[in-house]
Amino acid sequence: MEQDSRATWEFNGSFHQPSAFLMLGIPGLEALHPWISIPFCALYLTALLGNCMILFIIRRTQSLHEPMYYFLCMLAVTDLGLALCTLPTTLGLFWFNLRSIGFDACLAQMYFIHILSFIESSVLLAMAFDRFIAISRPLRHPSILTKATVTKIGLAIVLRGMVSLLPIPFLLKRLTYCGKTELSHSFCFHPDIMNLACADIKVNVFYGMIILLSTVGMDFIFIVLSYILIIKTVVSLATKEECLKALNTCVSHICAVLVFFIPMIGLSMIHRFGKNVPPLVNTLVAYTYLLIPPALNPVIYSIKSSHIREALLRALRRSSGADW
């Protein structure tokens, strides 16, 4: 039986705050949610197993203890976090029609989704920098990106995401909410919550835009610049074989960048400027943004990276040999 679509309200001093928000699945296809959950389960399973496999293989294979694969571990951990952030509310809605999420729980989920998205963007930038150093300064690559340097980069990435987004939950808590409590997705997203307020949201819009442009926007610009420098370096190589070999090491990363940034930019544009976009399009872009990168990244790197593929085959042979 469908839950009551009304949310109770709390009066806090001079502003109103809902005790809960109501999440939305696929608009117009509510009756098919149990069937729609099947591909979602497949994507979540692929994301969880695939990224755990990447972490396991890199940890067990000494030859993969290099900067490129350390950054890949960071990407896998981030993708695991993104999948786990949305899994309970998405499958809870599809399987059991659990639409309600508490106000504070919603803010917490939103905070972690955005932090992990910002971390993924920064990790992709660090991976682009790693590829540039590996191609342009191959002999100095191990001395430039030492294990200590990679650790410091990882800590800086996490701190940058946490600190830049820390004001967002407090900016949302100060707003007055009245009337509408239905979100556009089965998870909590900053523009989505912000647009439910009946107070002035100029500060939220301005701060959100500044943070997005100064973090994810700058990351994307520097990734593009890194590849311009990589192409410039590759073109100067002596033979065509060397050129293709150098570019081939970047293919997995380019795919990961496109898979992450295209839906993210699309979703940001829809929330800010796409008032007349059909709800179904908005929903599909949102799910693409949060589900496809965690599921596809381990598949992309397993297919394109011969080192990971060989390590995976060795692990499978060992496990099959142990069974016999």
Could you tell me the CATH number of the domain that includes residue 119? Answer: 1.20.1070.10
Lowest mean pLDDT, pick from 47-51, 91-95, 135-139, 317-321: 317-321
| Residue 145 within any structural domain of the chain | yes
Q: Which helix (H) or strand (E) holds 16?
A: strand 15-18
Helices (H), 137-239: 141-144, 147-165, 167-173, 190-194, 202-212, 218-235
Instruction: Give the mean pLDDT of 79-94.
Output: 96
Higher pLDDT, 60 or 167: 167
| Residue 176 within any structural domain of the chain | yes
- For residue 321, how many other CB atoms are within 10 A of its CB? 8
- pLDDT, residue 9, reads 52
- pLDDT, residue 92, reads 95
Q: Return d(Cα 84, Cα 159) in angstroms, integer.
A: 21
| Residue 100 within any structural domain of the chain | yes
Strand duo 20-22 + 9-12: pairing: unpaired
Q: How confident is the model at residue 1 (pLDDT cuts 50, 70, 90)?
A: very low
- pLDDT, residue 17, reads 84
Count of domains observed in the chain: 1
Write the Ramachandran bin of 322: left for phi over 0, alpha for psi from -120 to 50, otherwise beta. Answer: alpha
| Residue 62 within any structural domain of the chain | yes
| Residue 159 within any structural domain of the chain | yes
Tens-digit pLDDT profile for residues 30-81:
889 999 999 999 999 999 999 999 999 999 888 899 999 999 999 999 999 9
Instruction: Give the mean pLDDT of 297-306.
Output: 89
Higher pLDDT, 12 or 246: 246
Q: Which helix (H) or strand (E) holds 258?
A: helix 251-273
In sequence order, what are the residues at sequence separation of 6 or more whose Cβ sits closer than 8 angstroms to the Cβ of residue 78? 116, 119, 120, 123
Q: Which helix (H) or strand (E) holds 50?
A: helix 33-60
Tens-digit pLDDT profile for residues 224-281:
999 999 999 888 876 777 788 778 889 999 999 999 999 998 888 887 777 788 888 8
| Residue 7 within any structural domain of the chain | no
Domain limits for position 104: 49-233
**pTM assigned to the model:** 0.92
Lowest mean pLDDT, pick from 7-21, 43-57, 283-297: 7-21
Instruction: Give the mean pLDDT of 291-302.
Output: 94
Q: Return d(Cα 40, Cα 102) in angstroms, integer.
A: 23
Q: Are the C-beta atoms of 264 and 216 separated by less than 8 Å?
A: yes
Closest to 294 (Cα-Cα) out of 61, 57, 87, 109: 87
- pLDDT, residue 133, reads 94
| Residue 33 within any structural domain of the chain | no
| Residue 293 within any structural domain of the chain | no
Cα 34 to chain centroid distance, Å, stands at 25
In sequence order, what are the residues at sequence separation of 6 or more whose Cβ sits closer than 8 angstroms to the Cβ of residue 191? 208, 268, 271, 272
